[in-house]
Structure 1
Amino acid sequence: MGVCGLATFNNPAVAGNLSLQLENDSFDGASDADYTQGMRLAYTSDSPPQWATSLLPERYRGREIRAQYFLGQAIFTPYEVFETELLEYDRPYAGWLYLGAALHSVNLIPESQLATAERFEISAGIVGPSSGAEQAQKSLHRVIHTYEVNGWDNQLRDEPALMLSYARKWAHIRNVGDSGFNVEFFGTLGGNLGNVNTALASGVGVRFGRDLYSTVSVSALSPATSAPTSELSAGDGWYLFSDLQLRYVHWDIFLDGNTFKDSHSVEKEPTVGELRFGMVFSTGRLRWSLYHARRSQEFVDQYADVQFSAIGLTASF
């Protein structure tokens, strides 16, 4: 549940935005391994379908509710990508192609310096060759003139993928003297349920910037690319953020292998920690986000911790 929002100096009203987020371990100069590449395209609207909001409990009436629709792909590989044979000691090759929708609610209580955000999300797609992960990775490597990845014949088999997600954030926002800046301390809880990933997570974090009330948001727990968050704002500004998350993972198809068919798998670590830090800055109706993530080892005898970086661009309208 990362923090990828926007703190702005002024916030013209916007009805929606379109965002693209890219994650890759090669942004840091590393070689392909583990979670190696991700993409997520999302559209956020301030007009969620009435039938969807009617399903929410009464306590959500009067809150700011947004809808988000997204399409994404995630790619996982073992460390030794030059090898053609199955590497029993390393994670499987795997790809995940998915689309989904989410409802995001925000409750601001400025007089108490408090805010909460919640996110309900559903995604559906496919894991396996039909995800197009092999073609996507090989095409990228041809474009940037780098080495070939040779082990995709050993990837997980095709399997329909469904996941339900929920996340909640509690934030305490304080002014920093008379500087006009704010600091936000927050905690998060969330989880996933599905054959892609079943897990629980909790986290803590901090943001520093200006007018943080305008960008309170939370993203769902994900085994791959974090969802672009759902705030709707525009203007000129920036903020810095860092968060630490601890996950208990009951099921991860990218480590445990196919759910309904025999496949390669590894012995996963049930508890995983992740540290992220980065910044968000905007000018007018364009917003950029940059961050780096370091994740503890996800399976027994993993070569090293997982590291990747991300860049995101959001256009508001």
Structure 2
Amino acid sequence: MTFRKSIVLAYITLAWVPAAAEEPSGALSIIWENDIFYNSDRDYTNGAEITYVTPPSGNNATIVALARALPFFADKGDVRTSYSLGQDIFTPEHTTLAVPLATERPYAGYTYISLGLMQANQDRLDQLELQLGVVGPMALAKETQFWVHSIIDDDKPKGWHYQLHNEPAVTLTYERSLKIIPPQSILGVVLDIEPHLGGAVGTVYDYANAGAMVRLGFNLPDDFGPLRMQPSLPGSSYFEPQAGFSAYAFAGVDGRIMARNIFLDGNTWRDSPSVDKDLFVGDLTLGAAVTFSSLRIAFTHVFRTREYKTQKSSDQFGAVSLSVRI
């Protein structure tokens, strides 16, 4: 083999060797949750959110010092800031009725912006998020649902006149995720286990939650699972790939003690439609995610227990998320 050929072969070989760890990046994520995946159109029927999370280098010293000072954050790790815009839509089961049944959950929409602070190291992720938004007609949930139904040529729900009234909304959410079993190889695949705990306080939700997730695959990215809309299993809006391609399946549970849910309890300061909620709500989550260098795609199937006393059956819906490192 000539010297020139040796140089060419070495160059090609090095091109296929995974590069050294890159500087942690930011990410832009889009999430869509809907029960259309399972031929349903009731209860939590649609959610959409766009989120940007900064790279650790994108925070100034004041933000980092704030994260370090929080008593429930770790004293070390990468600090990131997130910004989100989202909307949730809730409807009763019988949307063809002009006057909704009193035994079914009320129509409701919620549109919000949020500011989040997170800190992560190899075995722990702390996330604090403040949501500010509006519940009621100003959330434009009716208009969003009518627009989507016109696209898919579906009937428009008839009872939106009875939705919850306009009300400003604020919610503070905290989640801690731990890797009690960090990624390790078992029979040729990589597994990790991530329990979590957290809670929320505010005018939209008051709850405490706990659960765990198991991931199984290869080349698991450095993250805590795909992003989801709250309340749910916590995920991470960022991811750091370990190789050019990875894939994993995941399964998780999350249990919540619900002290308040405005979408069931009704408006805070005035009379509105409402139903008697269940104190305990649980989610069983199954899904899969793949990453292609700077892209992560995930699908999640959620089974949710009954949320209120007169609900006829449990719910299920799907969630699709797309994250791009930038």
Does the TM-score normalized on the shorter chain lie above 0.5?
A: yes
C-alpha distance in 2, partners of 1:286/1:217? 14
C-alpha distance in 1, partners of 2:279/2:299? 29
Match of 1:88 among 102, 108, 114: 102
Match of 1:259 in 2: 268
How far apart are residue 238 of structure 1 and its match?
Answer: 1.2
Match of 1:48 in 2: 59
How far apart are residue 233 of structure 1 and its match?
Answer: 2.2
Q: Which moved more, 1:76-85 or 1:205-214?
A: 205-214
Match of 1:17 among 27, 30, 48: 27
How far apart are residue 230 of structure 1 and its match?
Answer: 2.6
How far apart are residue 222 of structure 1 and its match?
Answer: 2.1
Q: CA RMSD in A?
A: 2.1
Aligned partner letter, 1:95:
G
How far apart are residue 61 of structure 1 and its match?
Answer: 4.5
Q: Are the equivalent residues in 2 in contact too, given 1:193–1:199 (CA < 8 A)? A: yes
Match of 1:5 in 2: none
Distance 1:287 1:316, change over 3 A: same
Q: Are the equivalent residues in 1 in contact too, given 2:31–2:320 (CA < 8 A)? A: yes
Match of 1:188, SS state, is: strand
Match of 2:143 in 1: 135
How far apart are residue 266 of structure 1 and its match?
Answer: 0.3
How far apart are residue 173 of structure 1 and its match?
Answer: 1.8
Distance 1:106 1:97, change over 3 A: same
Match of 1:26 in 2: 36
Aligned partner letter, 1:138:
F
How far apart are residue 219 of structure 1 and its match?
Answer: 6.3
Match of 1:3 in 2: none
Distance 1:247 1:228, change over 3 A: closer
Task: Give a deviation string over 1:133-164, Cα, whole Å, max 9, x none.
Answer: 00000000001111111000000000000000
Aligned partner letter, 2:27:
N
C-alpha distance in 2, partners of 1:283/1:220? 20
Matches within 5 A, 1:58-69: 58=69, 60-69=74-83
Aligned partner letter, 2:245:
D
Q: Which has the larger radius of gyration?
A: 2
Match of 1:76 in 2: 90
Match of 1:169 in 2: 177
Aligned partner letter, 1:168:
R
How far apart are residue 226 of structure 1 and its match?
Answer: 7.0
Which stretches in structure 1 are left out of the alignment for 5+ residues? 1-8, 109-114
Which stretches in structure 2 are left out of the alignment for 5+ residues? 1-17
Match of 2:283 in 1: 274
How far apart are residue 221 of structure 1 and its match?
Answer: 7.7
Match of 2:163 among 124, 147, 155: 155
Q: Which moved more, 1:201-210 or 1:254-263?
A: 201-210
How far apart are residue 240 of structure 1 and its match?
Answer: 0.9
Aligned partner letter, 1:51:
T
Task: Give a deviation string over 1:198-223, Cα, whole Å, max 9, x none.
Answer: 00001022111234461236968824
How far apart are residue 50 of structure 1 and its match?
Answer: 3.2
Match of 1:202 in 2: 210
Q: Are the equivalent residues in 2 in contact too, given 1:69–1:100 (CA < 8 A)? A: yes
C-alpha distance in 2, partners of 1:288/1:217? 11
Aligned partner letter, 2:266:
G
Match of 1:230 among 213, 225, 237: 237
How far apart are residue 29 of structure 1 and its match?
Answer: 2.1
How far apart are residue 188 of structure 1 and its match?
Answer: 0.7
Q: Are the equivalent residues in 2 in contact too, given 1:106–1:217 (CA < 8 A)? A: no
Match of 2:312 in 1: 303
Distance 1:177 1:81, change over 3 A: closer
Match of 1:215, SS state, is: coil
Match of 2:67, SS state, is: coil
Distance 1:76 1:227, change over 3 A: farther
Distance 1:220 1:60, change over 3 A: farther
Aligned partner letter, 2:320:
I
Q: Which moved more, 1:211-220 or 1:131-140?
A: 211-220
C-alpha distance in 2, partners of 1:43/1:258? 30
How far apart are residue 177 of structure 1 and its match?
Answer: 4.1
Task: Give a deviation string over 1:249-276, Cα, whole Å, max 9, x none.
Answer: 0000000000011101100000011100
Distance 1:213 1:287, change over 3 A: closer
C-alpha distance in 1, partners of 2:79/2:175? 15
Q: Are the equivalent residues in 1 in contact too, given 2:67–2:118 (CA < 8 A)? A: no
